[in-house]
Structure 1
């Protein structure tokens, strides 16, 4: 059964499925606040793997890559509700409330916390929009987003260092970043932004660092990892090709034989 994914209003998204579902790689361009209503989400990112259990709230920081696997609850249903906290809204909120951040947040990358009564009731208040019992006007939608910001700051004042940090991403070490994130099947534009570079600057620095193009390097890197998994871990391509960033098995098999001169079964 396909994933039911609805945009309830501009920045509120509701996801519902009834069987295990592997999500696609996603570039997270804005902060978002999410609530796991039922089931659980397994998130894979550069820093490792994280499980988001039922009745857990998560604040996910912007500018990162995430891959997910969604598991329905025993009742047979997976539900996740997320509300985007975009830069424009946060900047306006900071201006109106005279919020200035002079220090960066130094805590963990992803913040999970059990819902207190206020946050729990906040998400409950969104249910009429999910059930189509009520439509949200642009003004009401804006107020609900601002309410989310207020409740986050109430739960932890340090969250302002995350939400109101409007500095541009600094240039990351290209070799370290690519070796951590080469399995994510996302655009070169997204990779450039994540490393704090323009597209042209990314391609230029990439050529200096790796002496090849991003596309050629990514393919070679993924194929080398695939060879290792087949040769030394006795794994089947069908079990890992998506995890390595390949879109389909046909492309993987063709590329593998072109690089190594053998089929996977001959290794």
Structure 2
């Protein structure tokens, strides 16, 4: 689908820069591609794809430019907006069994026309005029619900995550670089109960366990899979390459580059 002058734009509150989806958002890809992984499943998006990225999920994604261009439309469907929508348009929501982080929407003429309709309101500075923001967000939500009424079970479930198996969750998601507060929330615990349960399960505190687990994974990827340190450190949850190299050498007695040889 061509949108004559519409480039990357954002409508609604900003989404979290963490590897944590703090609010639902609609994503439409104009140029480039995306590959993502949520600890369970791999996802890929190409131009023309659109999906809902789900609240309270962990996702690591890589953006690929097409001829040095990457353009997208993001429309955040945050909880305050959804609650106001529900007051005006009562909808019955039930438990949702689909746990995918990205819910792809089938090819839909209404959504394509909606994307084109954004162009007159687009100011060119990545945002839609605030006067029309909630009107256009409400229009999008009504289109999605008309196309797939079961999406109400996703959007209007305002419950916090339930308490889950800590050991299984942490072993699956230790590579995600998020705060302990996020890990506690996503496993259905307060920070204090998370730390207490963690000590019981793993016999150490979360900070030490995460560092050791991430370093062991990095050592395996570098020594056995021959991945470069510059490819590995972000993948296993470190933010800075020099800090990663420092703690790696302190743990194993050799730098990542020496292990790779």
TM-score (ref. length: structure 2)? 0.86
Picking from 34, 37, 43, the partner of 2:30 is 37
> For 1:80, what is the secondary structure of its paired residue?
strand
- 129, 136, 159: which one aligns with 2:129: 136
Q: Does 1:105 align with 2:105?
A: no
Find the counterpart in structure 2 of residue 168 from structure 1: 160
CA distance in 1 between counterparts of 2:256 and 2:239 reads 17
5+ long unaligned stretches in structure 1: 14-23
Indicate the residue corresponding to 1:69 in structure 2.
62
Q: 2:246 maps to what in 1?
A: 254
**CA deviation string 1:150-170 (max 9, x = no partner):** 011011111111111122210
- Matched with 2:79 is 87
CA–CA separation in structure 2 for the residues paired with 1:133 and 1:213: 43
Q: Deviations over 1:8-30 (max 9, x none)?
A: 554378xxxxxxxxxx7521011
SS of residue matched to 1:233: coil
Residue in structure 2 matched with residue 211 of structure 1 by the alignment: 203
Which of 40, 43, 46 matches 1:53?
46
For structure 1, which segment, 28-37 or 256-265, has the greater mean C-alpha deviation from structure 2 after superposition?
Answer: 256-265
Question: 2:4: which partner in 1?
Answer: none
The unaligned stretches of length 5 or more in structure 2 are 1-6
**SS of match in other structure, 2:47:** coil
TM alignment of 1:165-244, pairs within 5 A:
165-244=157-236
Residue by residue over 1:124-154, the C-alpha shift from the partner in whole angstroms, topping out at 9 and shown as x without a partner, is 222341525996234x211111111101101
Is the CA contact (8 Å cut-off) linking 2:198 and 2:206 kept in structure 1?
A: yes
**Deviation digits for residues 231-253 of structure 1 (CA, Å, limit 9, x no counterpart):** 32233212211111111222122
Aligned partners of 2:123 and 2:129 also within 8 Å: no
Cα deviation 1:208-229 (Å, max 9, x = unaligned): 2112221111110011111212
Q: Give the SS at the match of 1:241.
A: helix
**Residue 256 of structure 2: aligned partner:** 264
- Residue matched to 1:11: 13
97 and 47 in structure 1: CA distance in 2 versus 1, 3 angstrom threshold: same
Cα displacement (A) at 1:85: 0.8
1:160 counterpart SS class: helix
Distance 1:240 1:8, change over 3 A: closer
- 1:192/1:198 contact within 8 Å kept: yes
Query: TM-score by structure 1 length?
Result: 0.85
